[in-house]
């Protein structure tokens, strides 16, 4: 791949993540911390919990890209609070944390040596054998998680106050 093609691919990955993050933020716009903790469907999911998970997921997978630890094991003990907005967390604080993380992810994409580099993923009880993904695939996995949970956030938000992401998107010009 030429340097120009690699630069374009990096630019495209960053733009796609930024665009999806902008859409994913819409369900969190205009809610307070109490609403963020509200279970509005039969699911355990809350907006605050989903936001917490999106941040945790992106942090974990960008760490996998950076660390490339061939002995990493997924710490499933942290999963109990994975989808929970802690008492000391706020929507504003989590969104600011996500913004800072997005900046770090952008910098990682710009500077990672080669998107085709194979990196080890952590083992887990459901995947005890080590799997190797390319940096590109790992970044696309972050994108997939973001898209997947954006849909959940839309449903939870609509159940709280009827807010519709499509309508919000049109009003936000996204």
Q: Is the pLDDT of residue 171 over 80?
A: no
The predicted pLDDT at position 78 comes to 78
The domain defined by 3-172 carries CATH number 1.20.120.450: yes
Q: Is the pLDDT of residue 1 over 80?
A: no
Q: Is the pLDDT of residue 13 over 90?
A: yes
Q: List C-alpha distances in Å: 100 to 8, 31, 58, 80.
A: 23, 21, 11, 24
pTM of the complete model = 0.92
- Mean pLDDT calculated for residue range 87-100: 98
- Mean pLDDT calculated for residue range 4-30: 94
Q: What confidence category does residue 147 fall into, taking pLDDT thresholds of 50, 70 and 90?
A: very high
- Give 165 or 104, the one with higher predicted confidence: 104
Pairing of strands 118-120, 132-134: antiparallel
The predicted pLDDT at position 24 comes to 93
Q: What confidence category does residue 135 fall into, taking pLDDT thresholds of 50, 70 and 90?
A: very high
DSSP assignment letter at 122: P
Measured CA to CA, the distance from residue 109 to residue 98 in angstroms comes to: 16
DSSP, collapsed to helix, strand or coil, labels residue 2 as coil
- Mean pLDDT calculated for residue range 140-167: 92
Q: In the chain, what percentage of residues exceed pLDDT 90?
A: 84
The predicted pLDDT at position 75 comes to 86
The predicted pLDDT at position 77 comes to 83
Provide DSSP, 29-66. TT--HHHHT---SSSS--HHHHHHHHHHHHHHHHHHHH
The predicted pLDDT at position 167 comes to 72
């Amino acid at each position: 791949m030429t340097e120009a093609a690699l630069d374009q691919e990096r630019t495209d990955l960053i733009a796609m993540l930024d665009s999806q993050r902008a859409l994913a933020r819409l369900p969190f716009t205009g809610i307070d911390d109490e609403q963020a903790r509200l279970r509005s469907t039969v699911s355990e999911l809350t907006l605050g919990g989903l936001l917490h998970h999106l941040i945790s997921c992106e942090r974990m997978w960008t760490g996998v890209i950076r660390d490339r630890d061939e002995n990493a094991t997924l710490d499933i003990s942290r999963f109990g609070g994975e989808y929970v907005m802690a008492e000391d967390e706020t929507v504003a604080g989590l969104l600011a944390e996500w913004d800072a993380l997005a900046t770090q992810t952008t910098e990682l994409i710009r500077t990672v040596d080669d998107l085709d580099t194979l990196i080890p993923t952590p083992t887990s009880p459901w995947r005890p054998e080590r799997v190797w993904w390319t940096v590109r695939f790992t970044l696309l996995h972050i994108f997939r998680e973001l898209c997947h949970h954006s849909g959940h956030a839309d449903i939870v938000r609509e159940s709280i106050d009827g807010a519709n992401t499509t309508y919000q998107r049109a009003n936000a010009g996204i």
